[in-house]
Every structure is written in structure tokens, then in C-alpha cells.
């Protein structure tokens, strides 16, 4: 490996992760792209090394850390970006236990496992930890309770970790992207429909009007491109004194404004935006 600074990015096979890997490589970094399977879009890119990395497998994460250590040696890492994530959505009442566990295993436990394994390399490289959060960490959304809970837990864990690592001067940064044009939303929608199909039909039917309203609201939503998110992460990575939170352009900033309002007003506004106002139990 050359003397270029190195960065690890999890969830690098697509979406924000893939855009970030390409952006960092173009800026001269050596990028270790953590992927669970094949990543043809990253194959052969200068400065990019794919690493098999399932963030939910602690042993596999440790093996990946050893692989990266063999390449960077005492140079360590400039940053670790915990980007891997999934969205589990739908009425919490009918979300299958396996899906609820998957939500927290990827979004919350995964970053913890990666952090534990790669912190020695961050210390060696004088690096920083960047966790990709979500606006729902600050403003939970109905029918996104699993996502909201997993990202709120990640944000709280990041705050605690920031104080734990202060003695080594390792910044812990949160980046909030908004709704982006990636496959994650299509996958989450398909998974939610599959879960509803398997649920007790008497229970799932209770939410038919709610879900129809939310579906109409989502259809009107404009999804942002991933490149501005990648640039926001680069800003967090390269800032001499990084902020604790960076909010990417898009609807994440709108949700940030909502969090400044009184809770009851905030919840009424959210219900109105999603078309839930006035829906009563039938």
C-alpha cells in the first residue's frame, strides 16, 4: 500500500456508501470498501480495496480489521465511516421479531462491533469515527419506529463514545442524510409489504387507511441524490475541528427545524404532512 491516508467505509456496495468510496478515492485516499458480497461497481477502481465485511458478525468484523491492519500497518486509518444500514418500516404492532432484530443488528450493533474492532487503527492513524445517522434519530416518525429507535440508539452511543475517546483526541461525528435516491427505500418497502402479508390480517387491516395515507405522502416526496451526502461526509472527515453533527442537504434539514418546535405541535405537523390527521379507528 502507498503512503496515502486510508479510510474504511462499511455498506460500500451501493447508494451513499458507493458514492462515498468513489469520492474518497478520487481525492487520493486509499479506501477499504466493506461489502457483504460482490461489488462489481467498485472492481478495479484505483485506490479501492474491497473487504468482506458483514457488520452483524463480530468475528467477521475482527477478521476484516486484521486484514486492513496488515495493509496499513502502523499508519492506521484516517477515518472509519459506519455507513451500513437498513430500513425496517410498517406498524410496529405487526413488525416480525426477526425484522426488528435485523434493524438493530445492522444499524446499532453493527457500528458498535466495527468501532470495537477498528479503534486501534484509528488511534494509530490519529483518525476519527463517522457514524451515518438519520433525521428520525431526532424526530421519530410513525411507521418508522424500528428505524427511529435504531438510529436514536446510534446517536446516543456516539455521544457517549465521543466523551470516552476524548483522551485520545478521536472525534466522533454524526452525519444525517435525508431521503436519498437509493435502493434502500425500495428494499424496505418490499420487506414491509412482505411482513404485512404474513401478519394477522385482522391486525394489519387496522392500519389500512394509515398506510394508504403514508404511501401517498411518500409518493410526493422528492428523493435527493447521493453525491451531496458523500460530499458532506468528506467535509466531516477533512475538517480540522469537526462538528458533532453534519446535516446533508435535503429534507433532513427540514426535520432539524421541526425538532426546535414544542413536541405536541411537532407531532401535529408530522401527522399532517403524512396525511394521518383525522384518521380514526374503524
What is the per-residue pLDDT for 58?
98
* Segment 251-277 mean pLDDT: 86
CA angle 229, 233, 87 (to 5 degrees): 55
What is the per-residue pLDDT for 183?
65
Beta strand extents in 116-209 (DSSP E only): 128-132, 172-176
What is the per-residue pLDDT for 178?
80
Which of 3-7, 167-171, 188-192, 220-224 shows the lowest per-residue confidence on average (mean pLDDT)? 188-192
Using a pLDDT cut of 70, give the percent of the chain over it. 92
Res 168 pLDDT > 60: yes
Res 136 pLDDT > 90: yes
Query: Which residue reads 456516539 in cell numbers?
Result: 158
CA proximity to 102, closest of 35, 56, 157, 59: 56
CA proximity to 18, closest of 184, 154, 129: 184
Longest Cα–Cα distance of the chain, Å, equals 65
| Domain boundaries, given as residue ranges, for the chain | 6-273
Q: What is the pLDDT of residues 109-133, one digit of tens each?
A: 999 999 999 999 999 999 999 999 9
DSSP, res 2: -
Q: What is the pLDDT of residues 15-64, one digit of tens each?
A: 999 999 999 999 999 999 999 988 888 988 999 999 999 999 999 999 99
SS3 for 47? coil
* The CATH fold of domain 6-273: Rossmann fold (3.40.50)
Amino acid at each position: 500500500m502507498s503512503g496515502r491516508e486510508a479510510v474504511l467505509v462499511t455498506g460500500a456496495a451501493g447508494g451513499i456508501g458507493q458514492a462515498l468510496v468513489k469520492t474518497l478515492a478520487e481525492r487520493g485516499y486509499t479506501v477499504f470498501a466493506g461489502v457483504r458480497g460482490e461489488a462489481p461497481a467498485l472492481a478495479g477502481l484505483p485506490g479501492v480495496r474491497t473487504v468482506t465485511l458483514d457488520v452483524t458478525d463480530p468475528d467477521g468484523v475482527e477478521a476484516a480489521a486484521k486484514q486492513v491492519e496488515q495493509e496499513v500497518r502502523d499508519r492506521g486509518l484516517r477515518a472509519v465511516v459506519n455507513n451500513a444500514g437498513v430500513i425496517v418500516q410498517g406498524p410496529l404492532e405487526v413488525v416480525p421479531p426477526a425484522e426488528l432484530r435485523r434493524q438493530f443488528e445492522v444499524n446499532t450493533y453493527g457500528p458498535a462491533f466495527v468501532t470495537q474492532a477498528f479503534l486501534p487503527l484509528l488511534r494509530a492513524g490519529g483518525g476519527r469515527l463517522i457514524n451515518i445517522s438519520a433525521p428520525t434519530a431526532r424526530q421519530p416518525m410513525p411507521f418508522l419506529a424500528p428505524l427511529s429507535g435504531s438510529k436514536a440508539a446510534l446517536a446516543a452511543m456516539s455521544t457517549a463514545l465521543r466523551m470516552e475517546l476524548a483522551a485520545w483526541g478521536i472525534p466522533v461525528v454524526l452525519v444525517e442524510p435525508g431521503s436519498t435516491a437509493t435502493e434502500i427505500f425500495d428494499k424496505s418497502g418490499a420487506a414491509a409489504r412482505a411482513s404485512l402479508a404474513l401478519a394477522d390480517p385482522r391486525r394489519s387491516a387496522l392500519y389500512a387507511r394509515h398506510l394508504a395515507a403514508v404511501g401517498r405522502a411518500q409518493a410526493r416526496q422528492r428523493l435527493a441524490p447521493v453525491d451531496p451526502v458523500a460530499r458532506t461526509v468528506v467535509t466531516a472527515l477533512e475538517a480540522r475541528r469537526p462538528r458533532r453533527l453534519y446535516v446533508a442537504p435535503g429534507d433532513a434539514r427540514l426535520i432539524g427545524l421541526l425538532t426546535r418546535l414544542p413536541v405536541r405541535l411537532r407531532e401535529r405537523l408530522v401527522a399532517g404532512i403524512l396525511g394521518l390527521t383525522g384518521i380514526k379507528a374503524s
